[in-house]
Amino acid sequence: MADRYQIEENRLGRSLPINSLLILSALQSQRRLTIAEIAEVTNIGEIRARAVAEKLVEVGLVDAGGNNKARFYILSSKVYKEQDNIVGYIRQTGIDAVKYEAWIMELIQKQNGKITRDNVVELLNVTPSQAYRLLKKMTDKGRIKLAGKGRSASYELIK
């Protein structure tokens, strides 16, 4: 990771700011953090932590996922690659899709075999369009089927 930091420091012509180093250190040890968690761990205010984290995303040291309050940050693939730990990066990023489908299936089963897009938005804290894409993907895989249209649409387990 030091190599990537040095590249960025050389680009800036100075050392990385302390807040950047604190956030990078927190992500190194905790793997995945939201802004609230970063602020708590580093004792940086949330507004400042968000600005610094987004700057780290811009320079390629950090990747961000999710949105709004569900936005999370992880070290970038470049950092993992320099550490010869690309598996660690895949583990951090690729597992969400698997977990999301499992959580959706669990909720459907607990709701008598039905779920709505709004249920998925609430469950996963994603946007309505992200929820739609997840449900469409599961429909295309044959795990669930669409019942109804428009606002009254729901998804059911395929029996």
Domain boundaries, the chain: 2-84, 96-157
Pick the CATH number of 96-157 from 3.80.30.20, 1.10.3720.10, 1.10.10.10, 3.40.430.10: 1.10.10.10
As to burial, measured by CB atoms within 10 angstroms (0-12 exposed, 13-18 middle, 19+ buried), residue 14 is: exposed
Residue 95 has pLDDT above 80, yes or no: no
Q: Is the pLDDT of residue 11 over 60?
A: no
pLDDT > 70? residue 53: yes
Question: Please, what CATH class does the domain formed by 2-84 belong to?
Answer: mainly alpha
pLDDT tens profile 114-125: 999 998 888 877
Name the pLDDT band for 38 (thresholds 50, 70, 90).
very high
Q: What pLDDT, on the 0 to 100 scale, is given for residue 150?
A: 82
Instruction: State mean pLDDT over 23-28.
Output: 88
In this chain, the answer to whether the domains covering 2-84 and 96-157 adopt an identical fold is yes
DSSP string, 38-88: HHHHHT--HHHHHHHHHHHHHHTSEEEES-GGG-EEEE-HHHHHHTT-HHH
What is the average pLDDT value for the chain, to the nearest integer?
81
pLDDT at 50 over 50: yes
